[in-house]
Each structure stands twice: as C-alpha cells, then as structure tokens.
Amino acid sequence: MNSALSFCPELATLYSCDCVRADSGKEFTLTACSTVNNLVILKNLFTHVAPRKSMEIGMAFGGSCLMLAAMYQKAGQPPRAQHIAIDPFQTNHWERIGIQAVERAGLSGYVQVREELSSAALPSLVAQGEQFDLIYIDGSHLFEDVFIDAFYSFRLVSKNGAIIFDDCRDVHVKKVIQFIRGNMREHFEEMDMGPFRQDRGQTIKYKAARALRQVQVVGFKRIGAPARAWNSRLVQF
C-alpha cells in the first residue's frame, strides 16, 4: 500500500488493483486514472492552497475525486459539496464506478458530480459566479476541448488559486500550455510543481524533463485579472 494514499482506504484499495468492477459487474482495466504522483501533487497542493472549493474536469474511476474529498474530511471540514467533478461519461461509459467509490468511502457529501460536457457545465458555473481555489483539468485531451476548459477555468479560479493540467506531454494539451505561457503571463504565473511531487522535484529525470518542458503536470497560479484586455497582442504558440 502506498503510504501517501493510506489515509483514504478506498483510494488505497483502488490503486492496489489492476482492474476494478462496477456494481453492474462490468470490469475496467485501471488505465484512465491519475497517477499516484499526480495524487500526491494534489494532496500537497491542497495543504498548500487550503481550498474552500475545488473542481476537476474528468472523473472516470474517481482517483483524484477521492483524494480531494478525503483531504476536506482530513482537514476537519464538514461536507458541503466543496468539490465539483465534471464527467459526462460517468454513467453511460464508466457505469458510475467513480461515484460508487466515493459512496463507499463515505465522502459523497463533499462531492457534487455534474454529468455533462465541460463546455456546457463551465459556462453555467461562470454565470452562477462560482469561484474555485483549486482546479484540476484532466478531461478530453483534444486541443479545442482543453482550450475551452482553460478559457473558463481562467474565469473560475480565484485570485491566488491554482489551475493544474495533466498529460502536458500530449501534443494537444501542450499547445494550450504554450498559449498560456506566451499570452497569459501577466495573469497566470507558472508554478514549480517539483516541491509537491513524491520526489520533491529532486530526481535527475524530473529536472531534465522540466528543463525540456516535458513534464506531465503543469500548474499556474492566478496573479492578475482572469482575462486579457480586448486589444492584447497575440504571441504565436
């Protein structure tokens, strides 16, 4: 059992298996799941940011959802649906396997699952005036979808809040990261994710990946306004 996950038995059990079974009996190979290192990053970021509310795009097996919900519980916060998980495929593809994991862990009160496309859910959250201190983007990896997720997350993240992108070596995701680096630097400051990792960013492999901008997880802290001025210059990306 990974010691970083042991405080949430349901999470530790999930990551000790090669496949998981939904209540329907259907089995899934544990592929579409955040890595343990990603979960450690989220755990340490939670401690660093101390979010009042958080959001993730992409739930699948519920690994990251379990981690964040369990952290609210560990922090002694009463359940108030502080964490929103957006996943349009949670029922019709994943057969509610992530929701069931959250229920077994006794963490349902901390989580609101929105089973709709992020392109529909995010504008609605903006219209409602929602703000999140921690946002984890790990949904569709198509460029246009990631860009839309980023566009609305810029408006949903609170001042000094963090937006975390997974799978940043993927060419689609990388393109969005390049846009942010080139065009949003007055609004969002890139974070050094090293101190939040399992290895604390001290391994040669990670240092080389960071120097080459080939890391899996990239994070940005909001330091300015959530959007650029209408006449801002476009830096090619």
Q: Rounded distance, CA 36 to CA 56, Å?
A: 16
Return the number of other C-beta atoms located less than 10 Å from residue 68's C-beta: 26
Beta strand 27-29 pairing with 132-137: unpaired
- What does 19-87 look like in DSSP terms, one character per residue? EEE-TTS-EEETTSS--HHHHHHHHHHHHHH--SSEEEE--TT-HHHHHHHHHHHHTTPPPS--EEEE-
Q: Say how far apart CA 215 and CA 182 lie, in whole Å.
A: 17
pLDDT tens digits along 5-40: 999 999 999 999 888 888 888 899 888 788 999 999
pTM, whole model, 2 decimals? 0.96
Query: How do residues 35-69 score in pLDDT, each as one tens digit?
Result: 999 999 999 999 999 999 999 999 999 999 999 99
Report the C-alpha gap between 228 and 155 in whole angstroms. 11
9-222 maps to CATH 3.40.50.150 = yes
Count of beta carbons in the 10 Å neighbourhood of residue 229 = 8
Instruction: Give pLDDT tens digits for 172-215.
Output: 999 999 999 999 999 999 999 999 999 999 999 999 999 999 99
Q: Tell me, what amino acid is at 25?
A: G
Model pLDDT for residues 98-153, shown as the tens digit of each residue: 999 999 999 999 999 999 999 999 999 999 999 999 999 999 999 999 999 999 99
